[in-house]
C-alpha cells in the first residue's frame, strides 16, 4: 500500500445534492479508517474533478494514487 502518511487513497460518495469525500488511511492495527471527511454541495462544482480538487485543497493533501468513488444513478420502477 502506497501513499504519504499512511494514506491508502481517496474515497467518495457522489449523490444528487452532495459529494462526500474522505481519505482512507491505515490505523495502527493495520485496518483502514476514514480521515478528513468533508461534504461539498454538488451544485458548487461543474464536475467530479473540480470537487475532488476543492476537497484536496481544503484539507491540504496531495493527490492520492488511488480512489474509490460511488456515484448515484437513477433507479427505475422504484
What residue ranges define each of the domains in the chain, with the CATH number in brackets? 4-70 (3.30.420.40)
What pTM value is reported for the model? 0.83
Percent of the chain with pLDDT over 90: 71
> How far apart are alpha carbons 16 and 69 in whole angstroms?
14
pLDDT of residue 5: 54
> Residue for cell digits 493527490?
63
Say yes or no to pLDDT of 1 above 50.
no
> How far apart are alpha carbons 52 and 55 in whole angstroms?
5
pLDDT of residue 2: 43
Amino acid at each position: 500500500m502506497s501513499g504519504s502518511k499512511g494514506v491508502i487513497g481517496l474515497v467518495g460518495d457522489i449523490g444528487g445534492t452532495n459529494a462526500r469525500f474522505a481519505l482512507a488511511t491505515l490505523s495502527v492495527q493495520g485496518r483502514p479508517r476514514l480521515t478528513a471527511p468533508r461534504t461539498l454541495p454538488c451544485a458548487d462544482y461543474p464536475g467530479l474533478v473540480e470537487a475532488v480538487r476543492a476537497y484536496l485543497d481544503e484539507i491540504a493533501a496531495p493527490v492520492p494514487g488511488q480512489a474509490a468513488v460511488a456515484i448515484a444513478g437513477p433507479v427505475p420502477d422504484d
